[in-house]
């Protein structure tokens, strides 16, 4: 018997994310009884071109960060409309188009991207449950079998770590591993080795940063690179693009860019766009870096073009704040030959359909999509399935600690186990274009 997949009931609730801040959870039931649940993440270092995350602004409650308005928009506006139209939840495009029409703004500021995304994702989860198949198969079809290469956060700075250093993430990437699970094992060994090194050097911080990485106070941003190379060696691996583990960095430069200058507070100096490009090129020359994210600020198009021309044939250049998972922004980058990869965050654009469009646009243009979590995360594991469904090849979740991160890493382990011999992992092949 074909399951009844018409939307029957929707209920939203205010819950808490990994920083203890409110966020939106949505339960969506289908007429046949299937339930789909989604919890919306939240960013700290957000791009100004992102869809709007609707907050209450009531300083007497959750310091103004409450999401009761977004919750009410789901329960009082979105739910009645979706139920009244008898929409089939498997018509994801139709669901998302109606959500966008109900909002009617370019940045989803009327209803809130957090309200809209919760419903969009819950519909997909409910549909997969009704059909009795995993979410990655529902979204990607029976041929979806590629596990992503994890980009694992080891050292944190910037907005995520009380500005212990200026650059936001220093990550390890297991390019030489032969499977997802082996790559995860290697990254865990490096994380533990980093802890030992920081203890030896009397630099171990009292806690971890928003995404679980260590946030030591170093004398320079470059010190984090040396620390990672040492940790890889201590863990018994070889650092290198053609060896075991390569390095990725997330500069998050929009966070310290003002009036045309990049201010590195750790080193007490200011850099122009050209000087930032030269700094990053020098690091690429000296260290086993295969990926640089947000090396220039979100509207510094000239700087991005210069960086792409300088090192774009040798490393992955990811636009996060630059593109904000927005099809129009991504097309601008493609047309201007600025960057060669895009970070994909569901809540930056606000619907599953638009997210999938960004991934497919990137892939058609030869840009590399990297599925990503946010600094304010939850136990929701949608992005793990999304990475497999789209064959993106890479995922950026955070570090190997804190349950909101491990929920996604563990979901990918489950998917790898479910796929069995059909599971694939490209490893270094993902970055083949950058390896001479």
pLDDT in tens, 108-132: 999 999 999 999 999 999 999 999 9
Which of 73, 104, 132 terminates a domain? The answer is 132
Answer whether residue 144 is part of any domain: no
Residue 97 and residue 204 share a domain:
no
Q: Which residues are catalytic?
A: 211, 345
Residue 411 and residue 337 share a domain:
yes
Predicted confidence band at 137 (pLDDT cuts at 50, 70, 90)? very high
Residue 99 and residue 155 share a domain:
no
Task: Using only the alpha carbons of the chain, give its radius of gyration.
Answer: 21
Residue 413 and residue 313 share a domain:
yes
Report helix, strand or coil for 190: helix
Answer whether residue 138 is part of any domain: no
We report the CATH number of the domain holding residue 211 as 3.20.20.120
Answer whether residue 213 is part of any domain: yes
Residue 168 and residue 125 share a domain:
no
- Position 158 scores a pLDDT of 83
Answer whether residue 142 is part of any domain: no
Which of 70, 103, 132 terminates a domain? The answer is 132
Residue 204 and residue 124 share a domain:
no
We report the CATH number of the domain holding residue 18 as 3.30.390.10
Q: Which helix (H) or strand (E) covers residue 360, if one does? A: helix 352-365
DSSP label at residue 52: P
- Residue pair 221/165 in contact by the 8 Å Cβ criterion: yes
- Residue pair 117/350 in contact by the 8 Å Cβ criterion: yes
Residue 160 and residue 86 share a domain:
no
> Does the structure show a pLDDT above 90 at 271?
yes
pLDDT in tens, 157-211: 987 677 889 999 999 999 999 999 999 999 999 999 999 999 999 998 878 888 9
Residue 164 and residue 125 share a domain:
no
Residue 174 and residue 113 share a domain:
no
> CA-CA distance, 90 to 198, in Å (whole number)?
50
* Residue 335: Cβ-neighbour burial (10 angstroms; 0-12, 13-18, 19+): exposed
pTM: 0.96
Answer whether residue 325 is part of any domain: yes
Sign of CA dihedral 227, 232, 233, 234: positive
Predicted confidence band at 45 (pLDDT cuts at 50, 70, 90)? low
Nearest by Cα to 148 from 124, 184, 121, 172: 184
The order of strands in the sheet holding 269-271 is 257-258, 261-264, 269-271
Residue 299 and residue 373 share a domain:
yes
Answer whether residue 318 is part of any domain: yes
The residue segments making up the domain with residue 114 are 7-132
Answer whether residue 143 is part of any domain: no
Which of 107, 132, 157 terminates a domain? The answer is 132
Residue 163 and residue 118 share a domain:
no
- Position 329 scores a pLDDT of 96
Answer whether residue 275 is part of any domain: yes
Number of structural domains in the chain: 2
Residue 329 and residue 199 share a domain:
yes
């Amino acid at each position: 018997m074909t399951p009844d997949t018409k939307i029957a009931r929707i209920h939203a609730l205010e819950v808490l994310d990994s920083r203890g801040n409110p966020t939106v959870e949505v339960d969506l039931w289908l007429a046949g009884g299937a339930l789909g649940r989604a919890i919306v993440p939240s960013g700290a270092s957000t791009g100004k071109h992102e869809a709007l995350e609707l907050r209450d602004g009531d300083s007497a409650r959750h310091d103004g960060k409450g999401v009761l308005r977004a919750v009410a928009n789901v329960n009082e506006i979105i739910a009645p409309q979706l139920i009244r139209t008898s929409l089939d939840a498997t018509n994801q495009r139709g669901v998302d188009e109606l959500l966008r029409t109900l909002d009617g703004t370019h940045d989803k500021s009327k209803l809130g991207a957090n309200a809209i995304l919760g419903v969009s994702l819950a519909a997909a989860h409910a549909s997969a449950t009704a059909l009795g198949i995993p979410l990655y198969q529902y979204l990607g079809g029976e041929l979806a079998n590629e596990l992503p290469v994890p980009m694992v956060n080891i050292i944190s700075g910037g907005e995520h770590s009380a500005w212990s250093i200026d650059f936001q993430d220093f990550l390890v990437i297991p390019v030489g591993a032969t499977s997802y699970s082996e790559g995860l094992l290697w990254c865990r060994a490096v994380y533990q080795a980093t802890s030992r090194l920081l203890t030896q050097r009397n630099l171990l911080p009292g806690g971890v940063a928003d995404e679980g990485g260590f946030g030591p106070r170093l004398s320079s941003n470059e010190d984090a690179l040396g620390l990672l190379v040492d940790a890889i060696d201590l863990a018994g691996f070889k650092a290198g693009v053609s060896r075991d583990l390569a390095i990725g960095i997330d500069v998050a430069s929009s966070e310290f860019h003002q009036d045309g200058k990049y201010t590195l507070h750790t080193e007490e100096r200011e850099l122009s766009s050209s000087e930032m490009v030269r700094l990053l090129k020098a690091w690429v020359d000296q260290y086993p870096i295969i990926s640089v994210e947000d090396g220039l600020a979100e509207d510094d198009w000239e700087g991005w073009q210069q960086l792409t021309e300088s090192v774009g044939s040798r490393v992955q250049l990811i636009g996060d704040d630059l593109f904000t998972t927005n099809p129009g922004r991504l097309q601008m980058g493609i047309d201007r030959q600025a960057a060669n990869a895009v970070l994909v965050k569901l809540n930056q654009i606000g619907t599953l359909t638009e997210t999938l469009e960004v991934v497919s646009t990137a892939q058609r243009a030869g840009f590399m999509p990297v599925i990503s979590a946010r600094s304010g995360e939850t136990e929701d594991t949608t992005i793990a399935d999304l990475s497999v469904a789209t064959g993106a090849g890479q995922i950026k979740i955070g570090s190997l600690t804190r349950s909101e991160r491990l929920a996604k890493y563990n979901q990918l382990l489950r998917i790898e186990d479910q796929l069995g011999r059909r599971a694939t992992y490209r490893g270094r092949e993902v970055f083949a274009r950058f390896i001479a």
